[in-house]
C-alpha cells in the first residue's frame, strides 16, 4: 500500500488534563488552544464543571454542617488520569464525595496516592476493596507539608499531589520512592506548573513546591505523540509513504527549561523508528514520515518511561518479523487492559483471514492492531469505538485501512 496523506493529530490528552486541573485549582477559566476532545478529557472537564468553586480556607462549623447529607457521586468511567487527579482535588475541596468508575477502573491501583493523602491529613476511606476505587472522600482544606510517594506503579500519583501543591499554605516537599516509572509525564507536570507561575524544583528524587498560586496564562496544547506512533506504524507497513503530520514538533526542537524534554516523552518514537525503516523529516511547521533503508536485526526497547508505545512497537515488530527484546513491562498489566497479555493474545491470530480482534476495552490495543490489516488483509474489532478515549477521529483519518467498523 502506498500512503500519501495529511493528518491533523488529536491534541494531547495528557497536556489537556493537566491544564484543566491547573485552571480548577487556580479558579480561572483556561485560556487554551487545541483542548483535546478525547473521552478522557471530556469526562474530566464535565466533572470539574459540575463542582462548586474551590475554597482553600476552612468554613466555620455551621457552614460545614450544612454540607452534610449523602455524598455527591463522581463517576469517572474508565479514565485513570481523572481518577488520580480528582482524588487529590476532592480531598482538599470541601464537600462529601463518592469517587467511582468502571469495573476495570476499580481494579487499577490507588493505594500509593491514598497513603500519601492520608499522611497529609486527608479524610478518605475505601468503600469496597482496600487500595482501589470506589472512595469515600470528605473534602477539607489541606495545608501540604512533607510527603513520600511510591512511583513504582504510576507517575500519576505524584502528579496528582503536585498539581494541588501551589495552593497549599505549606506547599509540598515530596520524596519519590521506588522505581521512577513514566518520568516524562512527571516532567510534563512540572513544566506546565511552571508555565502557570508555580515555583517548583526537582532535584533527584525530591520535588519542592512553594505556596505560590497559579496565574492564568495562554497555553497551546500540542498534537499527541502517542497518536503519532500509529502513523509511524502505518508508514512502516507501507510500500512507500509521504505522511504529513500537521504542527508536530520534531524531538530535537522539543527542549524545555534546563534541557528537559518538552513536553511529551513519546517523541522517542521518532528515534526508535529509524531502526525500523521510517524517517522523520521537517517540512515547515509539520513533520513528514518517509520510508528509509534499515537493516533487519535484533532490537531492544525499554518501555518503563514510555508505556503507551508498547502495543505499537510490539505490532510493528510482529508485522515486520523483527526480533526484539522488550523491557520495562511491569506496569502494563495495570492499564486499561493487561497490555502484554492482550497483545500476545491478539498477535497470535496473525495468519488467519479474516481476523477478528478483541479490543480488550483498550484504545491503544485497537489502534496498534488496526494497521496490521495493511499486511494481513481484512480485520474487524468487537468494540472499535474505544478509540474515542484518546483519538476520536482515528477511523476517519485511517479510513483506507481494510477494517470493518
User: For the chain, what's the residue count?
Assistant: 405
Residues 284, 194, 32: CA angle, nearest 5 degrees: 55
Is the CB of residue 90 less than 8 Å from the CB of residue 123? no
DSSP 79: -
Cell of 235: 508508514
Runs of H (alpha helix) within 204-326: 225-237, 268-273, 310-320
- How many C-beta atoms lie closer than 10 Å to residue 69's C-beta? 7
- Specify the DSSP element, H or E, that contains 7: strand 2-7
- Rg (the chain; Cα; Å): 22
Sign of CA dihedral 243, 244, 246, 250: positive
Cβ-in-10-Å burial (0-12, 13-18, 19+) of 326 comes to middle
Helices and strands per DSSP (H, E), number in the chain: 14, 19
Active site residues: 308
C-alpha of 74 from chain center: 20
Three-state SS at 173: strand
Amino acid at each position: 500500500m502506498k500512503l500519501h496523506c495529511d493528518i491533523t493529530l488529536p491534541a494531547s490528552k495528557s497536556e489537556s488534563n493537566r491544564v484543566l486541573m491547573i485552571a480548577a485549582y487556580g479558579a480561572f477559566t483556561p485560556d487554551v488552544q487545541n483542548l483535546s476532545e478525547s473521552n478522557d478529557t471530556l469526562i474530566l472537564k464535565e466533572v470539574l464543571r459540575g463542582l462548586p468553586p474551590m475554597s482553600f480556607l476552612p468554613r466555620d462549623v455551621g457552614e460545614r454542617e450544612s454540607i452534610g447529607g449523602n455524598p455527591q457521586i463522581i463517576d469517572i468511567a474508565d479514565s485513570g488520569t481523572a481518577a488520580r487527579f480528582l482524588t487529590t482535588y476532592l480531598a482538599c475541596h470541601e464537600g462529601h464525595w463518592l469517587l467511582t468508575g468502571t469495573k476495570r477502573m476499580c481494579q487499577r491501583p490507588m493505594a500509593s496516592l491514598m497513603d500519601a493523602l492520608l499522611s497529609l491529613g486527608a479524610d478518605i476511606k475505601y468503600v469496597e476493596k482496600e487500595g482501589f476505587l470506589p472512595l469515600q472522600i470528605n473534602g477539607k482544606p489541606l495545608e501540604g507539608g512533607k510527603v513520600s510517594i511510591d512511583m513504582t506503579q504510576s507517575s500519576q500519583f505524584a502528579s496528582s499531589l503536585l498539581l494541588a501543591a501551589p495552593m497549599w499554605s505549606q506547599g509540598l516537599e515530596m520524596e519519590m520512592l521506588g522505581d521512577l516509572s513514566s518520568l516524562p509525564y512527571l516532567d510534563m507536570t512540572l513544566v506546565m506548573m511552571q508555565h502557570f507561575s508555580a515555583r517548583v524544583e526537582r532535584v533527584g528524587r525530591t520535588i519542592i513546591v512553594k505556596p505560590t498560586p497559579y496565574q492564568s496564562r495562554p497555553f497551546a496544547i500540542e498534537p499527541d505523540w502517542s497518536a503519532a506512533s500509529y502513523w509511524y506504524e502505518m508508514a512502516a507497513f507501507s510500500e512507500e509513504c509521504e505522511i504529513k503530520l500537521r504542527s508536530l514538533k520534531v524531538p530535537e526542537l522539543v527542549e524545555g527549561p534546563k534541557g528537559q524534554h518538552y513536553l511529551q516523552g513519546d517523541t522517542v518514537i521518532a528515534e526508535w523508528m529509524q531502526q525500523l525503516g521510517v524517517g522523520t523529516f521537517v517540512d515547515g511547521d509539520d513533520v513528514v514520515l518517509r520510508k528509509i533503508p534499515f537493516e533487519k536485526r535484533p532490537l531492544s526497547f525499554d518501555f518503563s518511561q514510555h508505556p503507551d508505545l508498547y502495543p505499537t512497537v510490539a505490532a510493528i515488530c510482529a508485522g515486520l518479523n523483527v526480533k526484539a527484546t522488550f523491557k520495562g513491562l511491569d506496569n502494563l498489566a495495570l492499564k486499561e487492559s493487561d497490555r502484554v497479555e492482550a497483545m500476545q493474545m491478539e498477535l497470535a491470530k496473525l495468519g488467519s483471514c479474516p481476523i477478528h480482534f478483541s479490543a480488550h476495552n483498550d484504545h491503544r490495543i485497537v489502534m496498534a492492531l488496526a494497521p496490521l490489516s495493511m499486511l494481513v488483509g481484512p480485520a474487524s474489532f468487537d468494540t472499535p469505538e474505544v478509540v474515542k478515549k484518546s483519538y476520536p477521529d482515528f477511523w476517519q483519518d485511517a479510513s483506507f485501512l481494510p477494517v470493518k467498523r
